[in-house]
Amino acid sequence: MKQKVLGLVGIGLGVLLVTISGCAANRVSLADEGIVSVETVPGKKVKILWTDVYEDDNDVVVYGVLRRIGYSSGSFSIHVDVTVFSPDEEVLYENRTSVIGVPRRVVGKGVDWKRFEVRFPGQIPEGSSIRAVCHAGRHNDEKSS
């Protein structure tokens, strides 16, 4: 009986992995293809571990993973500002994530990173560059409460 259950679990995991890998294979990394370049700027307390860019329908999606620097106590909130520059260094798009709660780092106690994603409408020209900046404070265009 135990072997039968383990066999069914194994088959289920195999089907799940094939399905997930098939969905992820449709994404083509614009950064890996050399179509765009990506620059990341860490904050005082957070760094961007990695980023990638792909097209989804008629949108360009910039996503990545954040991780806090050091092992200080408590969690805090930040956001990521993402700017797309044309090959001529003109700003094409600017957007930011919603507020992201960054967990504290405790060795062996779960995930200590957070994922972020920003979407831009349309396509961006080849040779464009993207800058992702971790930011903890308010912007001038935000009202204080």
Domain range annotation of the chain: 30-135
Q: What is the pLDDT of residues 42-78, one digit of tens each?
A: 888 888 999 999 998 889 999 999 888 877 667 778 8
Let me know if 86 is exposed, middle or buried by CB neighbors in 10 A (0-12, 13-18, 19+): middle
Q: In 3-state terms, what secondary structure has residue 104?
A: coil
Res 23 pLDDT > 80: no
pTM of this structure: 0.71
> Max Cα separation, the chain?
66
Q: What is the pLDDT of residues 77-124, one digit of tens each?
A: 889 999 999 999 999 999 988 888 877 766 666 667 889 999 999 888
Fold of the CATH domain 30-135 = Immunoglobulin-like (2.60.40)
Distance CA 80, CA 132 (A): 6
Q: What is the DSSP letter of 18?
A: H
